[in-house]
Amino acid sequence: MAMAEFVLITGRTAKQGAALSRGKDSSEYRQATGFVQMSREDRECLGVEEGRRVRLRTVFGEAELELREGDVPPGMLFVPLGPAANTLIAADTQGTGMPDSKGLVVEVELI
């Protein structure tokens, strides 16, 4: 069980956008929002293959996602906007109305 700390970025993707109209119960939407992107360096360093399920944990919550290699800088993870991303972000908005959706510290655990 490997553990490592990363910076989490959430955001929109074209697939997630298109899948919205297929319905949130659709397999397209689940697939479009149910993965985490990690750099090749980090993936190799952790010794984990693509397609593995991993658990992401922040101080606010945790989510299980499929690991994919992606073009992100080492040390960063990207998760598309969606139900999984929401479990990881803070409800505290520090007086702005906007939760901290980008730049959170996140732990990755292999399962």
Chain residues binding another protein by CB under 8 A are 7, 9-14, 17-25, 60-61, 71-73, 76, 78, 81-83, 86-87, 89-103
Residue 47 Cβ vs another protein, minimum distance, rounded to whole Å: 23
Residue 86 Cβ vs another protein, minimum distance, rounded to whole Å: 6
**Complex with another protein: residue 1 or 91, whichever CB lies closer:** 91
∠ CA 80-85-88, nearest 5°, is 150
Q: What are phi and psi of 33, to 5 degrees?
A: -120, 0
Instruction: Output the CA–CA distances (angstroms, integers) from residue 54 to 14, 15, 59, 98, in the order listed.
Output: 23, 21, 17, 27
Residue 103 Cβ vs another protein, minimum distance, rounded to whole Å: 4
